[in-house]
Amino acid sequence: MPRAFLVVMDSVGIGGAPDADRFFNGDRPDTGANTLGHIAAACATGAAEEGRSGPLHLPHLDALGLGAALRLASGARGEGLDADPVGLWGAAQEVSVGKDTPSGHWELAGLPVPWDWSYFPDQTPAFPDDIVDEVKRLAGADGILGNCHASGTEIIARLGDQHQKTGWPICYTSADSVFQIAAHEESFGLDRLLQLCEGLAPMLHDRRVGRVIARPFIGEPGSYARTGNRHDYAMTPPAPTLLDWAQGAGRKTIAIGKIRDIFAGQGVDEVLKGEDRTLMAHLADCVATAPEGSLTFANFVEFDSLYGHRRDVSGYARHLEWFDAAIGPVLAAMRPDDLMILTADHGNDPTWSGTDHTRERVPVLAKGPYSGQIGIRAFADVAASVAAHLGIPAKGPGESFCEGR
């Protein structure tokens, strides 16, 4: 039986979302945001030279159709991204009303989000008193720190010392529908932090807040660093997704990265986690050993978490080039009847104002027994196409772009 690999390059948008004017970073609409296009332009003009140099170099992704997808989605021409595609390629646009991680992933898995998420106001304090009181009760603390919109690395650097002295958890949010809690793994305790977030999650989920995120860190004053023990307590999808379809058909499902967290464990048989370089090794192992008929679903988050939100153009370009070089041998090791789809869940243009995601179309690139242009599709078509390749029933609104090719 054929196998399928769905790989999300978190936030690698390609511009052109027709409803971008409805989404904002501060007071600025996302109209014109283009994560890949603007990174390529910066590289071509010598504006992204930290740790790398010259035009953006992505030969494996471009051969699959990345540059062609960029042109299709937004009309932008990325210097160095001009290959004639040999794979199946196109772009996709989202219908869910959020530009967040759960919305993008759920819709790629065949389930457009059927509601508006709840968000916290960009003011201080940001959280209602009853939520603050519940955090204090669950943490056994007399107060909380933060209570605002913030960058995770910035707020840890700013409040880490006070957290160590008081034992109060650092609570913050962003433009996403999230409630994040940072705490020191040693002085506060990792298990205590995870229990706090798990206990708080039902209250937040009842209010349509998509995720409660544990953000553990380590270190001493002046040198704090987040660890890889992040855990997302996400709302359970309200209907079956591609993972459930596959599992229900008796196929093994493997979640790489934060996929298990995004889907609240629903439809997942095996979980493989780590930093992006570790995740690439996991993906290579799955290509080598995953059983017949299986579905491997992977998320590579560091494009977004380390470079997009921090508006680090050079770092984003470096990570794209690392990913391209690393995915080459993985693609070469695939079996003839395997399908690997590489896509994204939203944009996060590092040249844009603010620090939030950007509303963009995303690339859809496929290596496998299919080829040609698929045009601009719906996110949900990705799930339908994976299901068609695996020979399992699709139970979502999408239409396959694999059948008949």
Output Rg (C-alpha) for the chain, integer angstroms.
21
Binding residues for Mn(2+): 10, 304, 309, 345-346, 357
Report helix, strand and coil shares of the chain as percent, to nearest 5: 35, 20, 45
The β-bridge partners of 279 are none
Alpha-helical runs (H) found in 45-151: 59-64, 66-74, 101-108, 129-139
- Please report, as a single letter, which amino acid is at residue 62: D
Binding residues: 10, 304, 309, 345-346, 357
Q: Are 20 and 29 in contact (CB under 8 A)?
A: yes
- Please report, as a single letter, which amino acid is at residue 336: P
Nearby residues of 270 by Cβ (< 8 Å), 6 or more positions away: 252, 253, 254, 255
Please classify residue 132 by burial: count the beta carbons closer than 10 Å to its beta carbon, then call 0-12 exposed, 13-18 middle and 19+ buried. middle
Q: Are 85 and 63 in contact (CB under 8 A)?
A: yes
Element at 276 (helix H, strand E): helix 276-289
Distance (Å, whole) CA 388 – CA 401: 9
Per DSSP, the three-state class of 59 is: helix
Give, in order, the Cα–Cα distances in Å from 1 to each of 16, 46, 83, 298: 37, 47, 32, 20
Distance (Å, whole) CA 162 – CA 330: 45
Q: Are 4 and 251 in contact (CB under 8 A)?
A: no
- Please report, as a single letter, which amino acid is at residue 54: G
Distance (Å, whole) CA 64 – CA 365: 6
Q: Are 272 and 256 in contact (CB under 8 A)?
A: yes
Nearest residue to 156 via CA among 144, 171, 137: 171
